[in-house]
Amino acid sequence: MRLLLSNGEYGDALPRLLGAVLLALGVVIAQIIRHRLAVLYTTTLAVRAVILIVLAALYFSTRDPLFLVLFGIVGLGVVFTGTSYLLDRRAMT
């Protein structure tokens, strides 16, 4: 947890759960991009927007930098997916 700048104690279960969820989300999104399923880009962007809102709220309620790090990781994925979405959309027109 020190690597993620956490100042809280979460035990082993929460970090493993968060890692599994983010890994699963990343795999699904990578497959969507790989198969060029442009119809799902907006859905993944909306889902991650909700995740970003929750992470921001958790940071403001706890002031734990862990949630900022996770916000950055998910936010970077939003940038990559958004870029892929725009590039694919331009290629279709």
Q: Is the pLDDT of residue 10 over 60?
A: yes
> What SS3 state is found at 18?
helix
Q: What is the pLDDT of residues 46-84, one digit of tens each?
A: 998 999 999 999 899 988 888 898 899 889 989 988 888
Least confident of 1-5, 14-18, 41-45, 84-88: 1-5
Provide the pLDDT confidence category of residue 5 given band limits of 50, 70 and 90: low
Q: What is the pLDDT of residues 18-50, one digit of tens each?
A: 789 878 988 987 888 788 787 888 888 899 899
**Would you kindly state where each structural domain of the chain is located, as residue ranges?**
8-92
The pTM (predicted TM-score) of the whole model is 0.72
